[in-house]
Chains A and B, each alone.
Chain A
Amino acid sequence: MQEESVPYGGWIALLALVSLVSVIGMFWGELTNHRLWTGGFIGVVLIAYSFILLLLRKGGLTGV
């Protein structure tokens, strides 16, 4: 299980970073009235989370 999870760790960390940047972007969009950008960043966060969940599962860290 640990051998499988190793290749995904880097990707998960990258996606977590993308999520963090997107959350900062959401606040920036709200504060500067760039609402389309805020909506787009929400989308990026949700998609990044979906891939994090997928990789956690493929790596054997969650699920069956």
Chain B
Amino acid sequence: MYKRLLDRLLRWTLSLDVWINRIYPADFNPLYYTGGLSNLFLTVLVLSGIFLFLYYVPSFNDAYTSVQYITGAVPFGLNGVPYGQIIRGIHRYAADGFIIAILLHFFRNWFTERFRFSRDEPWISGMMLLVFAGFIGVNGYMLVWDQRAQLLVAMTGNTLAAIPIVGGALRSALFGGTGTTNLLLPRMLFLHVGPATALYVMLWWHYVRVRHPKVWPPAVWTLFSLGAVFLLSALIPAASQPLASTGAAPDRLAVDWFFLLPYVALKYVTPAWLVVLAVVIVVYGLYIPYQLPETPAAMGIRDSGIAQVVDANCTGCELCYFDCPYNAIVMVPSPHPGVTRAAQARKELAIVLESRCVECGICIGACPFEALELPGYLEEDIQGKVLDACRT
């Protein structure tokens, strides 16, 4: 049933591609660049974040005022930071764009089953990127220390406290104690900047198993995305709520639907159920690559065996190394010359990493020296099949 649903979603996704390709040239289709768009928005976030960091003061007394100073709000006006309002808006709307692009990337790769054939690592790292991005976005709202921030701190604290056994300790560790303490905003600032840096480590993990990843969108979409965040920053300036009060937290939440949706759920479910729901969603997300059968027999494909290098023939030309989409081939210094004339002067030797090889046979096609073979599917087998096909 799940497979049938995936097949249907795949057909819808491809239909959407066809429809968009009628409007845009195929290599401009934005759905092909959702990962690159995420990267673009992340870069914008980092650059605008560095600018805001220079002026932000993480203390209860000064945080709100420093944000007002950045944006040139009352009483600063023109004495505020030049273009600070625009930069804050860019940070805000690039964050929304980041989440939208990541979610599109997530659903597209899910529906097109691009988590299979050793793509589980990009999938897992992508899930981690999504979770971290959500976390960073939420505590970014807390940094402003307006009434929304105060309410978010209260709601987050209550939700964490609902976690059995470790909930209270987790809340204290996150906020620097129970309730709002002087440690709260410095910690939130650290947890905003630190995980944002960790995103780049996860991005490396995300890319390391993907050959030729599209890390940047085409110029059309780079210009459009940058233009959109500039224009939105001007048309709907990012604004703070009133200053957080010293008393009880306010009872109404101004919602950013891209980051604060889980908090809306608290209107309908208890904090404990929200924690359960979040854990189930994340765990299921991590399980997706392993839900469908992955063995060659179960998938109805040939069992070719791990690719093997024919030492005598390898010339160290690196063609297989560049062509392998799974990074399953590495080049090492050759311990001895090859046997064939072409291989005698080699400096390097190709080695297949068994754990990464998916037995696809791409390296066989890449090698002009017959220096690679699939033990369960030798060249003469292929030739025999071709001849049989020709005869019939």
Whole-angstrom distance from the CB of A35 to the nearest CB of chain B? 5
Contact assessment for A40 and B25 in the assembled complex, using a CB-CB cutoff below 8 Å: no
Query: What does the 1/0 interface line of B137-154 toward A look like (CB < 8 Å)?
Result: 000000000000000000
Contact assessment for B85 and A43 in the assembled complex, using a CB-CB cutoff below 8 Å: no
Contact assessment for B221 and A39 in the assembled complex, using a CB-CB cutoff below 8 Å: no
Q: How far is the CA of A43 from the CA of B231 in the complex (A)?
A: 5
Whole-angstrom distance from the CB of A12 to the nearest CB of chain B? 14
Instruction: Enumerate A30-53 residues with CB–CB distance to B below 8 Å.
Output: 33, 35-40, 42-51, 53
Interface residue ranges, A against B (CB under 8 Å):
33, 35-40, 42-51, 53-54, 57-58, 63-64
Contact assessment for A53 and B228 in the assembled complex, using a CB-CB cutoff below 8 Å: no
Interface residue ranges, B against A (CB under 8 Å):
24-25, 27-28, 72, 78, 82-83, 85-86, 89, 219-224, 226-235, 237
Best-surrounded residue of A45, A48, A49 (most CB of chain B within 10 A): A49
Contact assessment for A47 and B233 in the assembled complex, using a CB-CB cutoff below 8 Å: no
Query: B227 contacts which chain A residues (CB < 8 A)?
Result: 42-50
CB nearest to B219 among chain A residues: A53
CB nearest to B221 among chain A residues: A50
CB nearest to A41 among chain B residues: B234
Contact assessment for B229 and A58 in the assembled complex, using a CB-CB cutoff below 8 Å: no
CB nearest to A60 among chain B residues: B25
CB nearest to B224 among chain A residues: A50
CB nearest to B87 among chain A residues: A39
CB nearest to B229 among chain A residues: A43
When the two chains form the complex, which single residue of B219, B233, B237 contacts A43, counting CB atoms closer than 8 Å? Answer: B233
Query: B86 contacts which chain A residues (CB < 8 A)?
Result: 35-36, 38-39
Q: How far is the CA of A46 from the CA of B219 in the complex (A)?
A: 10
